[in-house]
Copies of this chain bind each other. A is one copy, B any other.
Amino acid sequence: MPSVYDDVMELAKRRGFFWPAYEPYGGAAGLFVLGNMGVKLAEKITRVWKDIFVRRNDFTEVDTPNLVPEAILQASGHVENFKDPMAECLNCHKRFRADHLVQEAGKDLKHGMDLKELLKDVKCPSCGKNLGWEVSTFLTMFETRLGPYTNSKGYLRPETAQGIFVEFKRIFETERERLPIGVAQVGKGFRNEISPRQGLIRLREFRMLEVEVFFDPEQPRCEMLGNSELEREVTILKEEKEKSVMLRDGIANGIIVNEWMGYMMFLAQEFLNRLGIPNESIRFREVPEDERAHYSKQTFDLEVNIDGYGWLEVAGIAYRTDFDLSSHMKATGSDYTVAVPLAEPRKEKVKRWGINIEKLKERYPERWKDIMKEYSGIKDRTGDIPKSIAGIDIDKDVFFVREEVVEVMHRKFVPHVVEPSFGVERLMLASLCHSYKVKEDRVILSLPSYLSPVSVCVFPLVAKEDMIRIARGYERRLKLAGFDTFYDESGSIGRRYARADEVGAALCITVDGQTLQDSTVTFRDRDTWKQYRVRDNMIEEEAARVVYQVK
């Protein structure tokens, strides 16, 4: 029996939500097309996300490039860490994710195990033979070069986040230098999967919804977290045990490492609810340390249960600490710190170096003037003694170091970051699977009405000229009022209702014989199939009530 997951995949292809890309060319694994219904659904999911994650919190939004120079992803650790284990069949030379092969062979895989050893008796899924495996690692970023020089390597971003981190200082400035600050980004992420075979779930190119919240690690309070948020119950899966935890308790007893993590968990659950996913199908899986990304101190994978698939990860919520900003600071020498004024200025001892001019003249009689010129321009002399000045190597003993007491007016620090990161395609899938219903052998996509790709269908009961004219007029009015409308006059009205239900159209309006007499139309509810009549001057109001309601 096909599962809801299979049914949704079939429906999605047939009705233009999404389908595998480039089929006339034999397809391209891991790439999908969104059709008209899919574009609208993705857009509306993004809008709900923005309401909850951006507008509600007065966060800001940016859009940084997909293309990233290598130096940035070297600094962020991706060039070193964004790799998957790869196994190549020594007979047919097909390549696979080594860990997936082991798991598919029914073996238990633990961190640090020898993959080559585990693959010894595994047959190749492609040629069916077992002539052994070559195991290596594969960098799963798409590599290219920026411009016409061979050494100008670049990558397609594996996450939108690095763009935000690199640009942090300018964003912070344009937003008037206040913490906490949330920076959101909607955009593509890319991952050159070795062998993607899971339809919409494992993609080489996907839509991300990311927020980076920057906060002062010494002031980790999240003001948005009130009682109604703190009393939210979430299901946490930790060390293979599920338990229900109230956010307040989770934060208090350290299961959730800080308030911002807790608040993002609250918003994430709220968001999924708005996509029609009930709490009993939502859990936060704490990612064990050996599975966590290199930048994270705590990560929860947000998972949704899907009939016919199981638990699907739709988001990661990670405490990235100051890892990324500090990495870019180290790599560039740019100052990514934030300064907050101290309540009271503080006296601090600092070591400052200087040059003993007599010694300098003696040691570098011909160059001392150049050196002094450069030296006088160096304002901050609190770091290490320099090895050279003005390009001239200078002996250590020409310098002196003095301890001074200075008045410190500001506390400087690198902000810490909490990040919720969603994948749009997986959210679409979760939302579609949870709204897929069958009633009297007919499919109803019972999407929350504000998510429906088509908000209102308008039909003339029969394709007669007067009904067509009136129906077209109503459709135009509704479109002008901002609804996503669909007009159709072909086939029986029952067939048209069925087609509308299948794409989850929130509402059908039919112009019939009675309309010509009393200017009322038939409104039909998607989920109950109940019909009622509405006067034509109230069409927009009633449509708005149906389409924009949050149940």
Residues of A within 8 A of B (CB): 14-16, 19, 21-25, 28-40, 42, 55, 58, 60-69, 71-72, 86, 95, 138, 142-149, 154, 156, 163, 166-167, 169-171, 174-175, 188, 190, 192-195, 204-205, 328, 331-332, 334, 479, 487
Contacts and interface: CB of A to CB of B under 8 A. Distances in A.
A192 B34 contact: no
A13 to B, nearest CB: 8
A72 B142 CA distance: 19
A145 to B, nearest CB: 8
A339 to B, nearest CB: 18
20 contacts: A16-B170, A16-B171, A21-B64, A25-B69, A25-B71, A28-B69, A28-B154, A30-B146, A30-B147, A33-B170, A34-B62, A35-B174, A36-B171, A39-B63, A67-B205, A95-B148, A138-B148, A143-B144, A146-B204, A147-B195
Contacts of A175: 16, 36
A38 B60 CA distance: 11
B194 A147 contact: yes
Nearest to A475: B58
B36 A61 contact: yes
Nearest to A336: B24
A218 B67 CA distance: 44
B35 A62 contact: yes
A193 B62 contact: no
Contacts of A487: 58
Among A25, A39, A145, chain B packs the most CB atoms within 10 A around the CB of: A25
A155 to B, nearest CB: 9
A546 B268 CA distance: 35
The 10 closest A-B pairs by CB, nearest first: A16-B174, A34-B63, A24-B334, A36-B60, A31-B65, A24-B332, A142-B144, A39-B61, A144-B144, A95-B148
Given A22-B167, A25-B331, A33-B65, 16 more contacts: A15-B174, A16-B175, A21-B64, A22-B68, A24-B169, A28-B146, A33-B64, A38-B63, A39-B62, A67-B205, A95-B147, A95-B148, A143-B144, A144-B144, A147-B195, A147-B204
A220 to B, nearest CB: 24
A15 B170 CA distance: 10
A38 B68 CA distance: 20
Contacts of A194: 147-148
A192 B146 contact: yes
Given A142-B67, A144-B143, A146-B192, A22 B62 contact: no
Contact of A332 (B19, B25, B148, B156): B25
Contact of A72 (B25, B42, B188): B25
B63 A21 contact: no
A23 B170 contact: yes
A336 to B, nearest CB: 8
Given A174-B15, A175-B16, A147 B29 contact: yes
B195 A65 contact: no
A170 B19 CA distance: 9
A19 B170 CA distance: 9
Contacts of A171: 16, 35-36
A485 B55 CA distance: 9
A25 B71 CA distance: 8
B205 A66 contact: yes
A21 to B, nearest CB: 5
A24 B193 CA distance: 30
Contact of A328 (B24, B40, B144, B148): B24
Contacts of A204: 67, 146-147
Nearest to A28: B69
Contacts of A170: 16, 19, 23, 33, 35
A63 B453 CA distance: 14
Contact of A149 (B37, B66, B72, B95): B95
A192 B150 CA distance: 13
Contacts of A29: 146-147
A249 B9 CA distance: 50
Contacts of A143: 144-145
Contacts of A31: 65, 67
